[in-house]
Structure formats: structure tokens, C-alpha cells
């Protein structure tokens, strides 16, 4: 199908390409009681038999954790001893939401089971990531002989060697990539040690901490010690964007039903400050309301503030600590907006064409937020981006983000000879580079990104999963959509599309957002476009790619379309093939006309069962049938 130009959210990314989903013959999930658009989404995600959908919708019991983590028993034996002897235990976390919630989870659980836990989280600005030798030496000097890492540790070779030398026993719980040789530790609790296809293989750091705490509580027959653990698991898992599959999905579905009435004062303070009210929470509420208030502290403040908040027992103290987190989150937003404005100005004031890889460096930028701004630049320009800020001794430290398909970790590895340190995964990473090597590094990254862009194409790739008409968005559809929750990494919110919507009203909102009222076949729905460019122009009639949500405002709840992409609407379409271009026209709600390069026409219709029918025998030819199938999707005759 010919790519269509699109008036979209990202300035500089107007050449957006729509790739509509592949046709589905008939209804292979006919026995599944869901609306057709939702069945189409699940089928295209690979759930192509009813039993797979049933498993997704059901609550699958998890197998015993000790059958999947081979070293869990050793960890439990040592922790049980520490609890029975009221022993000091250090919980060494990380300064992101996963690490801070993991730390608080084990702090609360171990204290309730008799141990004397203390938090040990490095400073982002002063210490950098993870356990280090200085922390080990300080803890040992203070009498700590047992150390549990959460969300870090497997790569801390020097620190683990120092712990072994000093006689400090270490239990490692981490989900980052394991090194080639097993780290020195009493026990290793890691997803990579679980059997193939284990439901525990997707756990983030807070998930591993929860498994450990739950198993220890069962061992000591003390279930009350982990009454808040699942709440912290929910927040940390969503905040870390862990895949919402397997154990994550099972535990999150359980936890979300109770999270709004948590017995953890810190969790309730965050919900109160976010204005979430007394209603069951969704993963979105965590991702957009609770997690930013926690992550902001690790980015520009001291992570001990979050640990203190989530371990506080007094509601008044918890609320005061929550207000401090809230203030830091506002400061984080202001920093991000200022750096983004400066970065965009640098890019758009340059008369040269936009480079394939966006690399910007300013000494005064804050290390803690440049990753957020890099992600915004990726969204705006659809190119990989790195932002660099000054570090000590002629070095610069960077955060990198990239669109789907450009592997950050592989790119940094290919440039490793120019870097002092680097790490990450396909979507994000970081590195340290000497100032005098920045130009050469940018050239190398530009070459890699240029090759990638030639294959992928520039601009935003829009890939909706199913057609959804506005009149299908009702309470019955919403209830069915909720059955597929929670949505997140690995199980994203469905992206729908619809065609031929007339814009009956539009309003620019504070913050550069756009509110629309769309009409289709006599039905109106509200829509919102986040971060709409001020100079963009809309057609009167559009096609839209969107997710469905609800807008709660002043006691009123309405369905709302969150628009991901827009394009001008056309009644007909063209299919380009090596044999020439085929024009397709929609005749009515069930039939279309296909016109070949020689001007010959063929009419086909879609039956109530979703089967293509035609009186013209040419329609049965595989080549023609494939054209008709694609045309049915493109013209909205099939979901």
C-alpha cells in the first residue's frame, strides 16, 4: 500500500507512513466472547486459537518459586538465620523506581520478620550505578555481614570481590544481563537461572525481591510481614516497564484490585497527591501518576527520600515525604522542558539537514534527566538521539534513546573503541566519552543510523492493529477492553484506526496539546492529541490511529481517543505492485471496486461472515484475491 503523508504530532516528522494490518479470513476466534476489533488485535498478536485467549484472560496459578530458582533455598536459609538472630542486613538498591521500590519492599518485609535491615543506595551524581567497593567497606565497618542486592549487582565484580575478601556474604537479586562467569555470591536469584518459558523469566528487580520476601514469609510462617509487598511490586514493575506477561501479569492483576487501599502510608500519600481518588487503579495510573513522582527523586534528588517514604508507618510523615517527592517531580518537569527547548533550538537553528543520529552536548545539562529529553527527541524526530552532559576530568556522560529497530547496545558496541564506558539494551543506553572523541563518535553513529534509515525510511511508522468505528466505542466495548488489562511493555494498549472522521470542533490546550471532537456516521467522540505542533494544519476529514481511554473530569467520565497519528481522508486508495498501480473504490459498507492498470474493473463484496464474494471469476485468482483482501482492510470493510 502506498505510504500516506500525515499531519502528525512530531514537528519535522510529517512523512509518517501507515502500515495497515494484514487481512484475517473469517472469524478464527468465533467462540471467544469479545468484540470483533479486540479479537482481531489478539489474533494479530499471535493468539490465534481460543485456548490462548482464555489463558490471557484467566488468572494462571504460579508454580512454586523454589522449583524455578535453583539458589532460592540457599538465600532463604541465610535470611531466615538473619531474621531469627535480629541480624543487620544491608539492602543495596539502585536509584531508579525499580531499585527504590525493591529496597523498600525488602526493608519492610525483613524488619517485620525480625532482621535489622538498612538501605544502601548509591547517589546518581556522586557514586554512579550499582554496588561499589566503597559501599562494601563502609557497611563492613558498621558491622554488616550480610548484603542483599536488588536490581543491581551481577556486574559489580570489584565490589563482590571486596565483599568476599572482608567476609561479607552476598545474596544477588538482579535482572540485568549476566556476565560470562558467575558472580561471587552466596546465592543468585536471577530470571536467567529459571527454566525455559518460566513465568518468572520476565521479572524485574522488584519482582525478584517480592519472590524472595514471599518465600521467606512462608518459610517463617509470617504472612503479615508482606502485606504491603505486592503493592510495591505493582508500582516498581510498571515503573520499570517490565513485560506484563507471565508472573508479572498474574501478580499485577491481583495487586491492582487492592492497590488503591494499600496499608502502606507512603503508597497512599502518593495516590492522594496524584488525585487518584478511592477507585481501583490501572497500570496507566502507576505509569503516569505514581512512577514519575518516584523516578524524579532518583534523577535529581537522593533516593533515600523514596525509601523513607515507602517505609514510613506514620501517615502524616508519609504525606510530608510525598510532598517532597511531588516538588522534585515538578522540578524534574521544568528541567526537562528547559533542556528540550534548548535541544530543539540547537537542532532547528542549524541550516544543515537533520543528521541521521542526533547527538547534542551541553556542559550544564543535568545527568538525571537527559535520558527523558533524549526520548522526547526520538518521538519528535524519529531518529536515535544522545544527549551529553559534562562529567569529571574532560569526560562527558550521555543517555541514548532510539526508535524501534535501531539497537542502541549494538551501536555502542560497534563504537566501543571511542568510548570509556558504555552499556544498555536495544532501546536505551548510556556511555562516557572523552570530549576530544565526541566528533569522531558522532560521525561513527551517523554512519550506523544512516544505514538503518535507508532500510527503515524516515518519519513515524504507524501500525494500527484493527479498525474501530466510533459507534463501537461504548460501555460494552470498554468493559471488554478492561478484560485485556493490564497493558504495558510486552502487552501494549491496542492501537486502533478509523477512517472518514469529520472534525466538528478543535481547541488548543495549555502545554501545546490539541482537543478535538470527531464525528463519524452521526456519532461524536472526544479526542486528544498530545504535544501538537503549533504550525500543523488539519484536514477537515481525517483518518486517525488511536488508543481508547476514559477522561475523568469534575465527576464526569467520558470516552476519549488518544490520537497517535492523523492523515487526510481519501475515499479511494491505490495499491502499487510490480505489474502497475491498482485503484480501489469503496462502493458502500460491504462492497468495493478494483480497477487494474488497463482500466478493467472488478466488483467484490464482504459477506456477513466476513468472507469475500464476487460474481467475477477473476476474483478467485490468488494474486487478485490478495489485492482484494488488502483493499478490504484499507477501505475499512474489515477490522
For 331-365, what is each residue's pLDDT tens digit? 999 999 999 999 999 999 999 999 999 999 999 99
- Closest by CA position to 459, among listed 382, 523, 404, 370: 382
Helices (H), 403-554: 408-414, 438-456, 475-483
Burial of 540 (0-12, 13-18, 19+ CB in 10 A): exposed
What's the pLDDT score for residue 7?
Answer: 34
Question: Domain boundaries in the chain?
Answer: 65-257, 356-449, 465-568, 572-634
Answer for the pair 111, 127: CB distance below 8 angstroms, yes or no: no
Q: Which three cell numbers stand for residue 538?
A: 488539519
Distance CA 483, CA 267 (A): 25
Distance CA 382, CA 402 (A): 8
Given CATH 3.90.1640.30, say whether it is the number of domain 65-257. yes
- Closest by CA position to 109, among listed 257, 269, 223: 223
* pTM assigned to the model: 0.84
Q: Can you say whether residue 405 is alpha, beta or left, with left for phi > 0 and alpha for psi between -120 and 50 degrees?
A: left
Q: Which three cell numbers stand for residue 385?
A: 538521539
Strands annotated E in 83-198 = 88-92, 116-120, 146-150, 169-173, 187-189
Only one residue has cell 492523523, namely: 566
What's the pLDDT score for residue 124?
Answer: 66
What's the pLDDT score for residue 3?
Answer: 31
DSSP of 350-405, one letter per residue?
Answer: --SPPPSSEEEE-TTS-TTTHHHHHHHHHHHHSS-EEEEEE-STTEEEEEEE--TT
Instruction: Label the pairing between strands 169-173 and 146-150.
Output: parallel
Distance CA 460, CA 463 (A): 10
SS3 category, 516: strand
From residue 209, how far is each of 167, 175, 235, 325 by CA, in Å? 23, 11, 13, 23
DSSP of 229-298, one letter per residue?
Answer: HHHHHHHHHHHTT---SHHHHHHHHHHHTTGGG-S-HHHHHHHHHHT--SS---HHHIIIIIHHHHHHHH
What's the pLDDT score for residue 81?
Answer: 97
Distance CA 158, CA 386 (A): 29
Helices (H), 401-545: 408-414, 438-456, 475-483
- What is the greatest pairwise CA distance in the chain? 88
Which regions of the chain are under pLDDT 50? 1-14
What's the pLDDT score for residue 27?
Answer: 80
- Closest by CA position to 528, among listed 499, 563, 556, 486: 563
Q: Can you say whether residue 459 is alpha, beta or left, with left for phi > 0 and alpha for psi between -120 and 50 degrees?
A: left
Given CATH 2.40.50.460, say whether it is the number of domain 465-568. yes
Please name every residue paired with 429 in a beta bridge, in sequence order, or none if there are none.
400, 424
CATH number of 356-449: 3.10.310.30
In this structure, how many other beta carbons lie within 10 angstroms of the beta carbon of residue 259? 26
Q: Which residues of 490-516 are buried (b: 16+ CB within 10 A; e: fewer)?
A: ebebbbbbbbbbebeeeeeeeeeebbb
Amino acid at each position: 500500500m502506498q505510504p500516506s503523508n500525515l499531519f502528525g504530532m512530531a514537528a519535522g516528522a510529517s512523512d509518517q507512513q501507515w502500515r495497515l494490518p494484514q487481512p484475517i479470513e473469517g472469524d478464527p476466534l468465533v467462540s471467544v466472547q469479545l468484540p470483533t476489533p479486540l479479537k482481531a488485535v489478539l489474533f494479530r498478536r499471535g493468539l490465534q486459537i481460543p485456548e490462548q485467549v482464555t489463558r490471557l484472560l484467566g488468572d494462571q496459578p504460579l508454580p512454586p518459586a523454589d522449583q524455578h530458582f535453583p539458589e532460592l533455598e540457599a538465600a532463604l536459609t541465610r535470611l531466615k538465620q538473619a531474621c531469627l538472630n535480629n541480624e543487620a542486613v544491608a539492602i543495596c538498591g539502585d536509584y531508579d523506581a525499580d531499585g527504590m521500590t525493591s529496597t523498600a519492599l525488602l526493608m519492610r518485609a525483613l524488619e517485620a520478620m525480625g532482621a535489622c535491615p538498612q538501605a544502601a543506595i548509591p547517589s546518581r551524581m556522586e557514586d554512579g550505578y550499582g554496588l561499589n567497593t566503597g559501599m562494601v567497606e563502609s557497611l563492613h565497618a558498621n558491622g554488616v555481614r550480610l548484603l542483599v542486592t536488588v536490581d543491581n549487582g551481577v556486574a559489580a565484580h570489584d565490589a563482590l570481590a571486596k565483599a568476599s575478601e572482608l567476609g561479607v556474604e552476598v545474596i544477588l537479586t538482579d535482572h540485568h544481563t549476566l556476565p560470562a562467569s558467575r558472580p561471587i555470591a552466596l546465592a543468585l536469584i536471577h530470571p536467567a537461572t529459571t527454566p525455559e518459558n518460566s513465568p518468572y523469566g520476565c521479572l524485574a528487580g522488584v519482582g525478584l525481591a517480592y519472590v524472595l520476601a514471599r518465600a521467606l514469609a512462608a518459610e517463617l510462617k509470617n504472612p503479615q510481614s508482606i502485606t504491603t509487598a505486592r503493592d510495591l511490586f505493582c508500582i516498581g514493575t510498571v515503573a520499570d516497564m517490565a513485560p506484563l506477561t507471565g508472573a508479572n501479569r498474574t501478580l499485577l492483576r491481583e495487586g491492582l484490585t487492592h492497590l488503591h487501599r494499600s496499608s502502606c502510608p507512603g503508597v497512599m500519600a502518593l495516590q492522594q497527591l496524584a488525585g487518584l481518588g478511592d477507585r481501583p487503579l490501572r497500570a496507566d495510573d502507576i505509569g503516569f501518576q505514581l512512577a514519575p513522582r518516584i523516578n524524579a527523586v532518583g534523577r535529581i534528588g537522593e533516593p533515600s527520600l523514596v525509601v523513607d517514604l515507602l517505609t514510613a508507618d506514620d501517615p502524616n510523615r508519609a504525606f510530608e515525604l510525598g510532598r517532597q517527592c511531588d516538588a522534585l517531580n515538578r522540578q524534574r518537569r521544568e528541567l526537562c522542558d528547559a533542556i528540550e527547548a534548548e535541544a530543539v533550538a540547537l537542532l532547528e537553528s542549524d541550516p544543515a539537514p537533520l543528521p541521521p543520529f542526533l547527538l547534542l552536548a551541553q556542559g550544564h545539562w543535568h545527568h538525571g534527566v537527559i535520558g527523558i529529553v533524549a526520548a522526547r527527541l526520538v518521538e519528535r524526530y524519529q531518529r536515535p538521539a544522545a544527549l551529553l552532559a559534562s562529567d569529571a576530568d574532560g569526560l562527558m556522560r550521555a543517555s541514548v534513546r532510539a526508535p524501534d529497530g535501531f539497537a542502541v547496545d549494538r551501536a555502542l558496541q560497534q563504537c566501543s573503541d571511542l568510548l570509556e564506558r558504555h552499556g544498555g539494551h536495544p532501546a536505551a543506553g548510556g556511555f562516557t566519552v572523552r570530549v576530544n572523541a565526541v566528533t569522531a563518535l558522532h560521525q561513527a553513529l551517523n554512519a550506523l543510523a544512516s544505514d538503518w534509515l535507508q532500510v527503515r525510511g524516515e518519519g513515524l511508522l504507524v501500525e494500527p492493529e484493527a479498525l474501530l468505528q466510533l459507534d463501537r466505542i461504548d460501555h460494552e466495548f470498554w468493559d471488554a477492553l478492561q478484560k485485556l488489562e493490564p497493558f504495558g511493555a510486552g502487552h501494549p494498549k491496542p492501537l486502533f484506526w478509523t477512517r472518514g472522521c469529520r472534525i466538528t470542533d478543535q481547541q488548543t490546550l495549555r502545554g501545546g496539546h490539541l482537543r478535538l471532537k470527531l464525528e463519524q456516521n452521526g456519532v461524536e467522540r472526544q479526542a486528544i492529541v498530545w504535544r501538537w505542533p503549533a504550525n500543523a494544519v488539519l484536514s477537515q476529514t481525517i483518518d486517525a490511529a488511536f488508543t481508547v481511554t476514559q477522561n475523568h473530569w469534575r465527576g464526569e467520565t467520558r470516552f476519549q481517543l488518544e490520537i497517535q497519528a492523523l492523515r487526510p481522508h481519501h475515499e479511494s486508495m491505490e495499491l502499487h505492485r510490480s505489474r502497475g498501480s491498482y485503484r480501489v473504490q469503496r462502493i458502500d459498507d460491504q462492497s468495493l471496486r478494483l480497477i487494474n492498470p488497463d482500466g478493467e474493473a472488478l466488483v467484490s463484496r464482504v459477506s456477513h461472515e466476513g468472507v469475500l464474494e464476487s460474481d467475477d471469476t477473476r476474483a478467485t485468482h490468488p494474486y487478485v484475491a490478495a489485492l482484494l483482501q488488502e483493499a478490504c482492510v484499507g477501505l475499512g470493510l474489515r477490522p
